[in-house]
Chains A and B, each alone.
Chain A
Amino acid sequence: MAISPPTGSRTRFAVLVLASVTLLTVGLRDAPVVREVREGASVVIGPVESAVDTVTAPVRNAWHGVTDYDDLQRENDELRAQVEAADAAGVQASDAERQLAELSASLDLPWAGNVETATARVVSGPRSNFSHAIDIDKGTDDGIAVGMPVVTGAGLVGRVSQATGSSSTVELLTDPEFRVGVRLSTTGDLGTARGQGRGDPLSVDSAISPSTKVPKRTGVVTSGVDRSAYPPGIPVGTVTSSRQGSGGLALDLDVDPMVDVDQLSYLTVMLWTDGG
């Protein structure tokens, strides 16, 4: 006897697959109805999620204590070294920053240091293995809007991808769909950085000649070129390696993000939309 599922079962399966594909098509076009439904779900599920989050915090903390101990110890040593270096660099940077602020103000140019901000707490991390978004506890009531850059003291975290009255979703810069215009802090060469997933460096498609040597640890900041979604000068990361691009005409760079997206507690939303 031939082995095959009953016809009714096949029909139901076909209907469900068709419905999924239809939803996928509608969602891919970024339909307003899909966005509204997701925002509605966020409003409904938010308080419940927050309550469960509070109740289960001791268990999760114990889990992290066991699984992350070695990482934390190593990170602690690295941070100690970095703080010493940062103290020295900070003195030089503050002077340069003051000069840049004065110049930007006199030329009426946008500058990251002049932008109004809102500080928000991270209420949930990525919800699945394929998610590169986190939720924060501030929304449109605090002046936050879709597209605004999100940073920490270290640098760029991502951008606001969804905002309701009292909460927002932030697309992290590690998201494979994330793009940001960048420039090298040393030479001013421009490029586009894109996420490559959690734990992987950002990939920068640049216009730099392949014969150019880009030293490791060269700083990369947002370019803020005309109509950019980000103001100029936000630290993005440091170069870890460079290689010839696929066409052989320019360099591709790997950039280690300044911000560890797995260790975020409080964030700053820059109340800045495209064009300032």
Chain B
Amino acid sequence: MRSRRLTPLRGALVLVVALVAQIAFVADLRIVGAVGDLMLVVTVAAALTGGPDRGATYGFFAGLTFDLVLDSPFGLSALTYAVVGYGVGLACGVLFRPTGWWPLVVAAVASLVATALYTGVGHLVGAPYPWGDVPAITVAVALWNAALVLPAMAVLRWVHGPSEPDRLEVLLR
């Protein structure tokens, strides 16, 4: 029988592996001058498989882990990814089911939202990231996210076991 006590450990392992892969591998592979974002992939996959609660939680911890190794304002990634994770989970319950091509579309749209939100909040807290970079970053992150979101969802299902319907989903039935 699958132990639920190990779920947080498995989740932490996924975040650490994603972080190392991001900074030692993905960060060096540029598409249209920008790189992918594995921490966002994990966040979106968590939201798609577990709803807004899980999306926000993974988003917060993925962002926090990322913030540890970045030079940007500490907490900016945590805030951005928590909001995106919650939003994707919420939209997933209200607008569609995470099957077929939907996860790829959602992952791409989430890339735009995350990039714009990060840039916008950055300006508010005194880190003036250029708005002109947003389109290229969105394209690169969207391509990576769309390519990796399905495998990432499989990994998240391994972490949490067979998916239980989100409470919101139950509410809407």
- A residues within 8 Å of B by Cβ? 1, 3, 5-6, 8-9, 12-13, 16-17, 19-28, 34, 37-38, 41-42, 45, 48-50, 52-53, 56, 59-60, 63, 67, 124-133, 161-162, 169, 171, 175-177, 196-200
Contact = CB atoms under 8 A, between A and B. Distances in A.
A236 B70 CA distance: 25
B14 to A, nearest CB: 15
B72 interface: yes
Contacts, number: 165
A3 B129 contact: no
Contact of A126 (B27, B31, B140): B27
A250 to B, nearest CB: 21
B130 interface: yes
Interface stretch (B60-68, B98-106, B151-159): B60-68
B30 A60 contact: no
B162 interface: no
Q: Please list the 4 inter-chain residue pairs (A to B) with the smallest Cβ-Cβ separation, ordered nearest first.
A: A27-B74, A23-B75, A20-B79, A24-B75
A130 B118 contact: yes
Contact of A52 (B25, B34, B68, B76): B25
Nearest to B141: A129
Given A3-B172, A28-B126, A67-B31, 20 more contacts: A6-B168, A8-B167, A20-B63, A20-B79, A23-B74, A27-B73, A27-B75, A34-B74, A45-B68, A49-B23, A63-B28, A63-B29, A124-B27, A127-B23, A130-B70, A130-B127, A132-B71, A161-B71, A175-B71, A198-B33
22 contacts: A5-B93, A6-B171, A8-B53, A13-B56, A13-B86, A17-B82, A20-B82, A23-B75, A24-B79, A26-B74, A28-B73, A38-B74, A45-B68, A48-B20, A53-B24, A67-B31, A125-B28, A126-B27, A128-B70, A169-B71, A176-B127, A198-B133
Tell which of B28, B34, B83, B119 has the most Cβ of chain A within 10 Å.
B28
Nearest to B59: A16
Contact of A37 (B30, B68, B128): B68
Interface string B129-145: 11011000100110000
Mostly, the A contact residues are: helix
A60 B75 contact: no
Contacts of A49: 20, 23-24
B1 interface: no
A48 to B, nearest CB: 6
A245 B28 CA distance: 37
Nearest to B33: A199
Contacts of A161: 71
Given A20-B79, A24-B79, A128-B70, A60 B28 contact: yes
A67 B30 contact: yes
A19 B60 contact: yes
A172 to B, nearest CB: 9
A9 B75 contact: no
Contacts of A199: 33
A16 B57 contact: yes
Nearest to B167: A6
A197 B133 contact: yes
Nearest to B131: A197
Contact of A124 (B23, B66, B90, B119): B23
Contacts of A50: 24
B73 A24 contact: yes
B35 interface: yes
B126 A41 contact: no
A45 B18 CA distance: 12
B94 interface: yes
A13 B82 contact: yes
A100 B15 CA distance: 54
Contact of A129 (B28, B37, B52, B69): B37
